[in-house]
Amino acid sequence: MNTFLGRPRLDLSRSREVGCGRGLLTVLGSVLLLSVVVPFVVFGNAGAARLSFRQLQLSDSTISATGAKYDFRFNTNTSGPIGSVRIEVCANYRHESSDPCTPPVGFDASAAALTAQTGITDFALNPASNDHLIILSRPASVAATPQQLTLQFSNITNPSIVGSNYARITTHIATDASDAETDDGVVAFATNEGIGITTEVPPFLLFCTGVTIDGYNCRTSEGSFINFGELSSKVPRAATSQLLASTNAPYGYSVTLAGSTMTAGNNVIPAMTGNLSQTGISQFGLNSRSNGLPFIGSDPEGPGLTTPSAGYNTPNLYKFGNGDIVASSNDVDDYRKLTMSYIVNVGTDQPPGRYVATISYICLANF
Amino acid sequence: MRRIRSRLVTILPAFVLLGLAMVTPFCSVSAASNSLGVNPRRDYIVKSGDKVTDTLNVSNLSKTDNLVITIQLIDFGAKNETGAPQLLLGQKEPTRWSLKPYLKVPSTLSIPAGKSAQVPFTIAIPAGVGAGSYYGAIKYSTGGVGASSNENVSLTSSSATLMFIRVPGEANDSLRLKSFGAFTPDTSGDNGTFGSFYGGSAPKYLAYRVTNNGNVAEQPTGSVAVKNMFGRQIKLFEKANPGNNIVLIDQTRRFDLCFNQEATTKTNPSTGNDAEMIKCNNPSLAPGRYTAQLAIVYGDSGSSSHELRQVASFWYLPIWFIAVVAAVILLIVGVIWLAIRAFSGPRYSANRRR
């Protein structure tokens, strides 16, 4: 009995010891496991009150323009005291207020003057303002309901580089904008090269088509007609033409196929949809690769990077789709020559006639 | 006198027929140039009530054949979610961004072989026309001759100048963000898939899609910051629209941002021109969870400025890494189990002995 009575006590005490050790180990293990797993799961994000409407109008958006007027208009969003407004102009977008600001090259607001204000009308320029930072302070921080503020500044020099810049507007309780912002928002503004024409893409998009083009020179383009000979239900008829394009437009170009499949009056040879040439089946299609079935065509050549589009870029698979883009580039591109291979098959039931088609290749700059 | 007249009446048609017979074969053998060079794009700001007159340059690149072009003003839209334009050739009704009512160009032009010509045009925006974007394509078509009796297919080539006009003022700027995240384009580059888990290779691109519901062709600007799971910024795309591309009215456009872009310059030995080759390499991402913060701003001077923000995340957990983590977890569990056994071992053996 003693033994019996003693064992549970002994066991209990031991079990407490063991339990304590197990607990420690469990905690240790959990910490180790969590240290492996937690970093993959936990992540937090922060939010901020936004200025619900923001607008910036420049009197002159030409690069390096002096004496420009910057007219800011925005709606505050938070009810409460407003002591100051801070406007910082940066060339980079800042995701967090702690992100560094890169002042736009040439931009200068150090001589800016506050010429008009509506909404809250007792703002004055704070001496802490500098070439890319404008701080407006009030005599005292006074509570205000959400409202629209307009602030017009004169005598600002525009950035000297074409492109977009950002003005980050924040409102503060402190009169010197030294505290955290209550509302914030960003406006973007662009500067350009001149009045009237904002952009003139360097002016060339060169394009030619022909049955043959020697080298990469549109001057050598020859031929505007393709002859398949007599169409046959036993042998596919094939022919080629070539197109050459080049541009210095920064967005590249696209070549669109326009036209219709071969017809003779009301009789039509069906357009292919990306399939193999099959003798005895009426079909008409093209691609821009070197093919083995039948042996026709060649792969794109030239120093350019234009690539044939899907549907026209697989050997031995042919397609004809009015309005399809057959080739495109998305950047400035040197000469690129594409050999377009056409095949036509007719079935035995294809009504006789003179089958013709007009195919137009349209080369357009991308945007 | 009457005799002479009657003879003339008889002879004149004969001369005319002879003349035609001499001219017609010449016309049929004379080839037309299919080679042209044009201004690819023009952008103008024209105030309501103002007029702009300018010229476009068109070159005949053929050294032997004259170029006869037909000039048309065609509306265009977006072909897809990239920047390829689609001419709305069959469309009779003008689009709401159509430039047709405001632009005047000649309908034909003839350019001798190897020469260039100026195409004059006028853009007149009547007073009262609302602020916004108006655009269209001035299309130059060559040839257009049907296949002759021996030919099956007639080839023609066309090119165009894309004209973008911005009428300044308070317009309806409205972009809607449709998707944002890690992206894998398909082989054509026109489409692709957004993903949130990558077990094989890390995603090469981030992409976002925006739809333009306003009446201004927008050129968004902004930035994308990517942080790892410890909150450290590992990549900052300073330009969320690196190509300064535009989103046409009613278009949904995708913008791709490559994590590890490599630009190499290749010189064409025959022309001496440099071609820049841009390649998107595999990013050197460590396994883990990544969060990308997108912020884009749009709306130009005189219009309200709008900002779109979105956060997206994705996991990059390659198979080898999952295997290593699983092995580590197994190791930890094993160590704990062995430790527990070591702690509890003597008691059980003592109990057993008793």
- Segment B188-208, tens digit of pLDDT: 788 899 999 999 999 999 999
Q: Which of A165, A36, A147 is nearest to A89 (CA)?
A: A165
| Centroid of chain to Cα A147 | 35
The minimum CA-CA distance between A106 and chain B, rounded to whole Å, is 19
B310 interface with A at CB cutoff 8 Å = no
- Name the residue in chain A with its Cα closest to that of B316: A40
- Across residues A87-94, what is the average pLDDT? 95
Q: What are phi and psi of A330, to 5 degrees?
A: -120, 25
Q: What percentage of chain A carries pLDDT values higher than 90? A: 68
Look at the block and give the residue holding tokens 């995603």. Answer: B203
Paired strand residues for B110: B68
User: What 3-state DSSP class applies to B73?
Assistant: strand
Q: A188 and B305 in contact by Cβ < 8 A?
A: yes
pLDDT of A2 higher than 60: no
Residue with tokens 């739809």: B211
Q: What is the pLDDT of residues A20-45, one digit of tens each?
A: 555 655 665 565 555 555 544 444 43
Residue the block writes with tokens 């950002």: A166
Query: What are the helix and strand counts (H, E) for chain B?
Result: 2, 22
ipTM exceeding cut-off 0.95 for this assembly: no
Contact residues on chain A for B277, CB-CB shorter than 8 A: 305
pLDDT score, position A1: 38
Rounded distance between C-alpha atoms, residue B105 and residue B125, angstroms: 15
Least confident interval from A151-165, A191-205, B70-84: A191-205
Question: What is the rounded distance in angstroms from the CA atom of residue A264 to the CA atom of residue A271?
Answer: 14
Q: Is the pLDDT of residue A107 over 80?
A: yes
What tokens were used for B6? 């009657």
Whether B159 and A32 lie within 8 Å, measured CB to CB? no
Interface test with A, best of B38, B148, B153 (most A CBs within 10 A): B153
Kindly determine whether residue B271 and residue A253, on different chains, have CB atoms separated by under 8 Å. no
pLDDT of residue A37: 52
Q: Does A210 touch chain B (CB under 8 A)?
A: yes
SS3 string of chain A? CHHHHHHHHHHHHHHHHHHHHHHHHHHHHHHHHHHHHHHHHCCCCCCCCECCEEEEEECCCECCCCCEEEEEEEECCCCEEEEEEEEEEECCCCCCCCCCCCCCCCCECCCCEEEEEECCCCCEECCCCCCCEEEEEEEEEEEECCCEEEEEEEEEECCCCCEEEEEEEEEECCCCCCCCEEEEEEEEEEEECCCCEEEECCCCEEEEEECECCCCCHHHCECCEECCCCCCCCCCEEEEEEEEEEECCCCCEEEEEEECCCEECCEECCECEEECCCCCCCEEEEECCCEECCEECCCCECCCCCEECCCCCCCCCEECCCCCEEEEECCCEEEEEEEEEEEEECCCCCCCCCCEEEEEEEEEECC
Residue B14 three-state SS = helix
- Per-residue model confidence as pLDDT tens digits over A245-259: 999 888 899 999 999
Residue A196 has pLDDT above 50, yes or no: no
Q: Considering only CA atoms, which of B68, B85, B84 is closest in space to residue B76?
A: B85
Provide the 10 A C-beta neighbour count for residue B18: 11
Whether residue B229 and residue A223 make contact (CB cut-off 8 A), yes or no, is no
Give how far B19 is from chain A: nearest CA, Å: 27
B243 interface with A at CB cutoff 8 Å? yes
CB nearest A251 (choices: B42, B87, B243) = B243
- Give the 3-state secondary structure of residue B94: coil
> The tokens of B76 are what?
């265009």
> What's the rounded Cα separation, in Å, for the pair A92 and B211?
24
Tokens of A233: 């239900």
Once rounded to an integer, what is the mean pLDDT over residues A269-282? 96
Cβ atoms of B303 and B171 closer than 8 Å: yes
Q: Which two tokens stand for residue B100?
A: 């047709």
B52 to chain A: which residues are within 8 Å by CB?
196
pLDDT of residue A22: 59
Biggest CA-to-CA distance, chain B:
157
User: 10 Å Cβ neighbour count for B118?
Assistant: 11
Hey, which residues does A292 pair with through a beta bridge?
Answer: A295
**Measured between alpha carbons, how far is B224 from B235 in angstroms, rounded to an integer?**
8
Nearest Cα residue in chain B from A241: B155
B118 with B99: CB under 8 angstroms?
Answer: no
β-partners of residue A62 are A192
- Under the banding of pLDDT at 50, 70 and 90, the label for residue B23 is very low
pLDDT at A23: 61
Q: How confident is the model at residue B275 (pLDDT cuts 50, 70, 90)?
A: low
Average pLDDT, chain A: 86
Give pLDDT tens digits for B316-350: 999 999 999 999 999 999 999 999 988 886 555 55
Instruction: Tell me how far apart the alpha carbons of residues B184 and A364 are, in angstroms, rounded to a whole number.
Output: 27
pLDDT tens-digit map of B107-132: 999 999 999 999 999 999 999 999 99
CA-to-CA distance for A194 and B166, rounded, in angstroms?
Answer: 14
Angle formed at CA B209 by CA B206 and CA B215, multiple of 5 degrees:
145
Percentage of residues in chain B having pLDDT higher than 70:
83
Measured in angstroms, the CA of B11 and the nearest CA of chain A are apart by: 38
**Three-state DSSP class for B218?**
strand
Q: pLDDT per residue over A215-228, tens digit each? A: 999 989 988 899 99
pLDDT at B147 over 70: no
From the list A237, A352, A244, A329, the residue with the least C-alpha distance to A283 is: A237
- Average pLDDT value for residue range A325-336: 90
Contact A231, A349 (CB under 8 A): no
| Residue range B237-254, pLDDT digits in tens | 999 999 889 999 999 999
Q: Residue A325 — very low, low, confident or very high, per pLDDT cuts 50/70/90?
A: very high
Per-residue pLDDT at B3 exceeds 50: no
- The pLDDT score that the predictor gives to residue B64 is 87
Reported pTM: 0.80
Choice between B12 and A216, residue whose per-residue pLDDT is larger: A216
For A264, the token pair is 């003779």
| CA-based radius of gyration for chain A | 36
Check residue A248 and give its pLDDT: 87
Contact B151, B139 (CB under 8 A): no
What pLDDT was estimated at residue A16?
46
User: Which is higher by pLDDT, A110 or B89?
Assistant: A110
Task: Name the minimum distance, in Å, from the CA of B349 to any CA of chain A.
Answer: 13
| Each residue's pLDDT tens digit, A200-216 | 445 689 999 999 999 99
Q: Which residue has the tokens 């938070």?
A: A78
Three-state DSSP state, B346: helix
